[in-house]
Structure 1
Amino acid sequence: MSFNFRKSIKFGPGRLTFSKSGVSYSIGTKGARITTGPRGTYVTLGLHGLYYRQRITSTIKYRPPTVPGYDELTEPLLHTITSEAIDQLTDSDSKAFVEELNAKTNRISYFRWFCLFPATLFLICLFVYFSQDSYTEEKTTYFIAVDSLNKVNVRQNPNKNGNIIGSADNKQYYAIIDTLGKGWSKIKFGDTVGYIAKQYSRIDSIKTPIHTYARFETNKRDLISLSIIGAAFFIYIGIVFYKQDKQRLLVEIYYEIDDHIKEVYDKFLRNFTELLASQKVWQYLHAERTSDYKHHAGAGKLITRISIKRVSTNHKPAPFFRTNIPVPNIKLRNSDLYFFPERLIIKRDKQFAAIFYKHLRIDCADIIFIEDEPVASDAQVVDYTWRFLNKNGTPDRRFNNNRRLPKCLYSQYHINSGTGVNEIITTSKQGAFNEFAHIVKAIAKLQQYYAAH
């Protein structure tokens, strides 16, 4: 049996109440009172058994669960997670390299402008011209038209004494069967045949389209000839302009790799490949602090994320980029990250930036993420919560669609630099990018050592 205690005494203009939950004080008249106590301040209105109660303030503070790396005092309410403008990201050691890279990649392509586009225009013109109609095949049908203001007799035999089988009005038309030389025409009259005098009729005709032929059906030789000439011409100038583009736009980076460096770089590539083993990889776009924990499954921060478009162990930054090593690549929403042996190259549209690893950081952290999407098979579920929560963590039964949500242990990687690089990726597989981050850090320390000596 539970123990309850409640005692109320008059104290000044109101009443002081002692109970198991604490001390409260109320003031007012019958049917309208204000009460303040350990559970907050309430207004109570009503008479004769019907009451309305509304809480004004609450003294109970509900705190969100601790999120690793989340600083409530310094984190802005809403911010976009993205790097600075591309022209601000390059470090001082890479400026000359990036200037040459941007200068070459921003030149116009002769092959594209003087071969590919004209060839496309030529094909469109060829298609439009030979798709047009050349001529239409027609069938001519002859018939008898009555040409008399009065009714004309239609006879059974081709003479004036033949039996009359009917009459025809002016401008009536009949299918012609034969024209006789004695002044009569044989026609189809209803279900039978009859004869009508030529002096009261005339022969007329109508043309019916049978088939319309396009130019590519009637001028096949011209089409084949123009196609061969055009193909030969554009193949020739395409080869010429492609060779010129290769000379003008070619960017070459070749590395001399001895056995020791090769061992380190093989480990570099092997550790990057671990990222491919994660079933899901996301990019963070926006982060927003929230105090509405009740309606957001108890989360203290709302994250907008998207799946990363591409993770590749070898993808070149430009068509005329040549190197003797594989180049790992992560394609984000508006940027491409290329991890070279000594530096990170970032591509956005047609602009490049580069940062030596000594100026770059990849911060690793394990985070608890409340997942509302299907859980990846390699994700580790550490707990569960509810889409809508009560203060004590139990599900709010007022919501019919109150789903049970898993709390997943993910790995978060913050790629940042003092020049303005700021990208966050998350993996469903725990520690999928840890080893790669560690080897980048080791390369950074080596670069700092050589810079100091």
Structure 2
Amino acid sequence: MAWSYRKRIKIIPGVHLNISRKGISTTIGVRGASLNIGPNGTYLNTSIPGLGIYNRQRISPAPGQSQRPEAYVPEVATLEPEDRGNIFSVAPNDVTSNDMQGIKATIVAAHRQKKELTQDLTKVQSALFVSRMQLFCSYVFLYGLFIRKIPQQVRETIAAQQDAILRIKEQIDNSYMQMDIEFDADMKAKFSVLEDTFKQLSHSQKVWDVTSAVHQNRVAARSAASTLVMKREVAIAVKGIPDIRSEISPLWLKNANGADLYFYPGFVIMYDSRDQFGIIGYNELQFDFGPVRFVESGIVPGDSKVIDRTWAKVNRNGTPDKRFKDNRQIPIVRYGSISLKTRNGLHEEYEFSNYEATESFGNAFSNYIRSISN
């Protein structure tokens, strides 16, 4: 069985983020050639190491000098009950910001190389199995005892295949995008606060992904709630994405009806799979948070506050509807809510049982993205 593997692999360009109050500067590339994306425009940097030859070429103007719309500066707002319909985002491949295309291409290249190497690994492992069977058969059927060069050649092939497997595994392990992040002191402090408040938020007893919110006729439903909300319990945590290595792990929110969200220091990634993901700059993100009153017919989470009470079936004036014999009082609870939107199609909403943790995170996140968007 013929076997081979790719002895030469591409060097996956690294990504360096420099985060300061002036904005985010992104450098993508390897030694001798890199792309720098920052507040002053996009530049191609080329050099010949050791000869002192260096060239810097501007390939696109600064955002203020282009025809692109001005960056959206997020504002904090309290969410009010409204008819929002189904709440979901477009396909993740459709949301990537223009200035994030280079980072996405780097991640795609890392995944493609890892996929090709994994295919090579399978082929060599299969060939190794065949070689071992050949060596075994050479002794079982005795011909290896008479023609000594046959088992010797097979042993040499086995050794080469085992060495190839080790090399391929090492190459697979190195097929990733390395992301280095450098903060100035002020932004480092802001991001540390963001991480701490997110960890507190992740300890909320309940986290829900809101998938729809539609108006309902309170009189017909005999309910105190004017909005019918559909939501599913999800998880949030600090964890990374395959094909990206960084000292800082992103803040992860599970999405019940679409791609998960990973918040890195310089951008958010909508990630469904290694072939389906998009990257959004914070300058395009609209982030809102605030309290929400929820008529809780189930069990009230231990970290939530009951702020009022109503009846399972109520009249228009709020009094209990006496036509229902088993009518009971139910609590109105204050939950925390966050909303994430972009013009390109990101639309997600979450609710949290711990409002205080939601407020702390909302303030920290708003402060962080406002600082790098100014």
Map Cα deviations across residues 231-274 of structure 1 (whole Å, 9 max, x no partner).
99997665333223234x31110113454443333222112112
Considering Cα pairs closer than 8 Å and 6+ residues apart, tell me whether 1 or 2 has the greater RCO. 2
Cα contact 1:327–1:339 (8 A) shared by 2: yes
Relative to structure 1, is the Cα distance of residues 392 and 303 closer, same or farther in structure 2, using a 3 angstrom cutoff? Answer: same
- When normalised by structure 1's length, the TM-score is 0.52
- Name the structure 1 match of 2:75: none
- Name the structure 1 match of 2:189: 263
- Name the structure 2 match of 1:297: 223
Cα contact 2:187–2:368 (8 A) shared by 1: no
1:185-200 equivalences in 2 (<5 Å): none
1:210-249 equivalences in 2 (<5 Å): 238-247=165-174, 249=175
Mapped to 2, the partners of 1:323 and 1:242 lie a distance apart of: 21
The offset of 1:347, in angstroms, is: 0.6
Cα contact 2:294–2:333 (8 A) shared by 1: yes
The offset of 1:297, in angstroms, is: 2.3
Most deviating of 260-269 and 424-433: 260-269
Map Cα deviations across residues 272-306 of structure 1 (whole Å, 9 max, x no partner).
11212321111101122111445352211111101
- Alignment partner of 2:93 out of 65, 87, 96: 87
Equivalenced residues, count = 266
1:322-337 equivalences in 2 (<5 Å): 322-333=245-256, 334-337=258-261
Structure whose residues are more often helix by fraction: 2
Map Cα deviations across residues 408-428 of structure 1 (whole Å, 9 max, x no partner).
011111111222211100111
- When normalised by structure 2's length, the TM-score is 0.63
- Alignment partner of 1:423 out of 327, 330, 348: 348
What is the one-letter code of the residue matched to 1:392? N
- Name the structure 1 match of 2:244: 321
Mapped to 2, the partners of 1:373 and 1:235 lie a distance apart of: 59
- Name the structure 2 match of 1:374: 299
Mapped to 2, the partners of 1:444 and 1:103 lie a distance apart of: 29
- Correspondence 1:355 to 2:361: no
- Correspondence 1:340 to 2:351: no
Mapped to 2, the partners of 1:275 and 1:235 lie a distance apart of: 48
The offset of 1:390, in angstroms, is: 2.7
Map Cα deviations across residues 359-406 of structure 1 (whole Å, 9 max, x no partner).
212201211100122100111111122222233323334335434321
- Alignment partner of 1:286 out of 203, 212, 222: 212
Mapped to 2, the partners of 1:371 and 1:287 lie a distance apart of: 15
Cα contact 1:387–1:402 (8 A) shared by 2: yes
1:24-423 equivalences in 2 (<5 Å): 69-71=80-82, 75=83, 79-106=85-112, 109-110=115-116, 112-113=118-119, 115=121, 238-247=165-174, 249-257=175-183, 259-295=185-221, 297-308=223-234, 310-313=235-238, 315-318=239-242, 320-333=243-256, 334-350=258-274, 351-423=276-348
The offset of 1:101, in angstroms, is: 1.9
Mapped to 1, the partners of 2:367 and 2:89 lie a distance apart of: 24
Structure 2 residue matching 1:434: 3-state secondary structure = helix
Q: Where in structure 1 are there 5+ consecutive unaligned residues?
A: 1-66, 124-230
Cα contact 1:115–1:234 (8 A) shared by 2: no
Cα contact 1:294–1:391 (8 A) shared by 2: no
Mapped to 2, the partners of 1:289 and 1:81 lie a distance apart of: 14
Q: Where in structure 2 are there 5+ consecutive unaligned residues?
A: 1-77, 130-157
Cα contact 2:218–2:316 (8 A) shared by 1: no
Relative to structure 1, is the Cα distance of residues 448 and 394 closer, same or farther in structure 2, using a 3 angstrom cutoff? Answer: closer
Relative to structure 1, is the Cα distance of residues 385 and 260 closer, same or farther in structure 2, using a 3 angstrom cutoff? Answer: closer
Map Cα deviations across residues 161-181 of structure 1 (whole Å, 9 max, x no partner).
xxxxxxxxxxxxxxxxxxxxx
Give the superposed CA RMSD: 3.1
What is the one-letter code of the residue matched to 1:347? Y
What is the one-letter code of the residue matched to 1:251? M
Cα contact 2:335–2:355 (8 A) shared by 1: yes
Relative to structure 1, is the Cα distance of residues 286 and 118 closer, same or farther in structure 2, using a 3 angstrom cutoff? Answer: farther
Mapped to 1, the partners of 2:279 and 2:252 lie a distance apart of: 14
What is the one-letter code of the residue matched to 2:317? N
Cα contact 1:387–1:405 (8 A) shared by 2: yes
Relative to structure 1, is the Cα distance of residues 246 and 108 closer, same or farther in structure 2, using a 3 angstrom cutoff? Answer: closer
Mapped to 2, the partners of 1:251 and 1:269 lie a distance apart of: 22
Mapped to 2, the partners of 1:237 and 1:388 lie a distance apart of: 71
Mapped to 1, the partners of 2:264 and 2:343 lie a distance apart of: 19
What is the one-letter code of the residue matched to 1:99? A
Cα contact 1:293–1:300 (8 A) shared by 2: no
Mapped to 2, the partners of 1:397 and 1:118 lie a distance apart of: 76
What is the one-letter code of the residue matched to 1:380? K
Mapped to 2, the partners of 1:235 and 1:257 lie a distance apart of: 44
Relative to structure 1, is the Cα distance of residues 238 and 405 closer, same or farther in structure 2, using a 3 angstrom cutoff? Answer: farther
Structure 2 residue matching 1:254: 3-state secondary structure = strand
Structure whose residues are more often strand by fraction: 1
Cα contact 1:102–1:352 (8 A) shared by 2: no
Mapped to 2, the partners of 1:425 and 1:279 lie a distance apart of: 14
Mapped to 1, the partners of 2:248 and 2:240 lie a distance apart of: 10
What is the one-letter code of the residue matched to 1:244? Q
What is the one-letter code of the residue matched to 2:350? I
Mapped to 2, the partners of 1:284 and 1:69 lie a distance apart of: 14
